[in-house]
């Protein structure tokens, strides 16, 4: 095994924080991974990792070495991509993470179109309502529908996305229609919950008001899956905060009604994110450009339903 491969092993151990996890990904036993790290440490004359029974962490010297190794591996990938670009080829896998419902409805149907035009690219679509770490989970790009925090990721907007509060006519007939944001505190609010989710707090901006109102709403049912919340809402179990792409057809059909139409939640646009890289792999760049072209302009779900 070459020194370059030892560096690859060290970088993945540092990113995953676990010898066994890195070994499984690289198809080595934990013992082999440990031996290769020990070989690096012996050659460098410093300890790179602090080891515990469950996790490993970088030492000060290990952190310095890790950052340099990252650049080395990135430059190697850039060199390979440069050759691929020179040959005008687009090939290899692209791993994409996307919310479950949005992926099923809008991303999965267009992937065959991209693959047909790029037969040497393999799209690996991972559907999850949880926010994956692109670096740790080795994801090439993510599609997110959220208020984005500052990060080192490159962001490109795909489409606008209006959000609304909705409930079924049956629910509103039984429990009454909220007239003010504070009325929501007396209603069963259907919440999307997962680590890091803030949907138990709903922020609404009433037309004409200078400042928005944020309410800590509650309800008897929550889920980490947005499609489940839509189904519960359609079945008359409560009020949900949903994106227009999720509920537009149900509003048009009358199966759902917009609640507090003059109080709108902040719009969460649809974005694609990918790690900062001066030389994005051709296959990833091609798929990003494809997404921008597909979703640019008027989004397929519309945003003007009242």
- What integer pLDDT is reported at residue 271 of this predicted model? 92
Residue 194 has pLDDT above 70, yes or no: no
The H helix count followed by the E strand count for the chain is 10, 15
3-state secondary structure at position 292: helix
Backbone angles phi, psi at 199, to 5 degrees: -75, 0
Would you say the pTM of this structure is higher than 0.85?
no
Residue 36 has pLDDT above 70, yes or no: yes
Backbone angles phi, psi at 138, to 5 degrees: 55, 50
- What integer pLDDT is reported at residue 108 of this predicted model? 96
Q: Which of 115-119, 121-125, 153-157, 163-167 has the lowest mean pLDDT?
A: 153-157
What Rg, from alpha-carbon coordinates, does the chain have?
A: 24
Residue 85 has pLDDT above 80, yes or no: no
Q: Are 192 and 199 in contact (CB under 8 A)?
A: yes
- What integer pLDDT is reported at residue 1 of this predicted model? 44
DSSP H or E stretch at residue 62? helix 60-86
pLDDT tens column, 246-291: 999 999 999 999 999 998 888 888 999 988 765 678 889 899 999 9
Residue 64 has pLDDT above 80, yes or no: yes
Highest mean pLDDT among 63-72, 126-135, 191-200: 63-72
Instruction: Read off the tokens for 264.
Output: 């709108």
Average pLDDT over residues 13-40: 85
Average predicted confidence (pLDDT) for the chain:
85
Q: How far is the first Cα of the chain from the last one, in angstroms, to the nearest whole number?
A: 63
pLDDT band at 57 (very low <50, low <70, confident <90, very high): confident
Nearest alpha carbon to residue 233 among 167, 295, 169: 167
Average pLDDT over residues 118-128: 93
- What integer pLDDT is reported at residue 306 of this predicted model? 45
- What integer pLDDT is reported at residue 221 of this predicted model? 93
Residue 83 has pLDDT above 80, yes or no: no
Nearest alpha carbon to residue 153 among 164, 166, 143, 163: 143
Dihedral Cα 101, 107, 109, 111, nearest 10 deg: -150
Strands 163-167 and 239-243: antiparallel
pLDDT tens column, 212-256: 889 999 999 999 888 999 999 999 999 999 999 999 999 999 999
pLDDT greater at residue 127 or residue 27: 127
pLDDT greater at residue 164 or residue 196: 164
pLDDT greater at residue 178 or residue 196: 178
3-state secondary structure at position 98: strand
pLDDT tens column, 129-160: 777 777 777 889 999 987 777 667 888 999 88
Q: Count Cβ atoms below 10 Å from residue 113 Cβ, excluding itself.
A: 11
Residue 186 has pLDDT above 70, yes or no: yes
Instruction: Read off the tokens for 76.
Output: 């190697």
């Amino acid at each position: 095994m070459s020194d370059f491969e030892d560096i690859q092993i060290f970088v993945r151990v540092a990113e995953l924080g676990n010898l066994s996890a890195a070994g499984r990904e690289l198809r080595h036993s934990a013992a082999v991974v440990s031996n290769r790290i020990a070989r690096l440490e012996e050659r460098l004359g410093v300890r790179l990792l602090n080891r515990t029974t469950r996790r490993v962490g970088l030492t000060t010297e290990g952190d310095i070495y890790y950052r340099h190794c990252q650049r080395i591996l990135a430059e190697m990938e850039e060199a390979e991509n440069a050759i691929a670009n020179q040959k005008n080829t687009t090939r290899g896998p692209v791993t994409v993470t996307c919310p479950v419902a949005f992926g099923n409805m809008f991303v999965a149907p267009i992937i065959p179109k991209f693959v047909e035009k790029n037969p040497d690219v393999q799209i690996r679509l991972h559907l999850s309502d949880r926010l994956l770490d692109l670096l740790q989970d080795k994801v090439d790009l993510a599609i997110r529908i959220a208020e984005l925090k500052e990060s080192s990721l490159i962001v490109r907007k795909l489409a606008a996305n209006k959000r609304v509060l909705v409930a079924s006519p049956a629910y509103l007939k039984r429990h009454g229609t909220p007239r003010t944001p504070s009325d929501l505190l007396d209603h069963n609010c259907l919440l999307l919950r997962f680590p890091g989710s803030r949907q138990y707090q709903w922020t609404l901006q009433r037309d004409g008001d200078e400042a928005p109102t944020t309410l800590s709403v509650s309800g008897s049912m929550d889920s980490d899956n947005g499609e489940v919340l839509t189904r519960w809402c359609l079945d008359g179990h409560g009020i949900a905060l949903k994106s227009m792409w999720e509920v537009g057809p149900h509003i048009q059909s009358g199966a759902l009604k917009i609640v507090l139409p003059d109080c709108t939640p902040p719009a969460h646009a649809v974005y694609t994110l990918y790690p900062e890289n001066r030389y994005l792999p051709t296959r990833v760049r091609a798929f990003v450009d494809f997404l921008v072209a597909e979703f640019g302009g008027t989004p397929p779900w519309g945003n003007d339903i009242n």
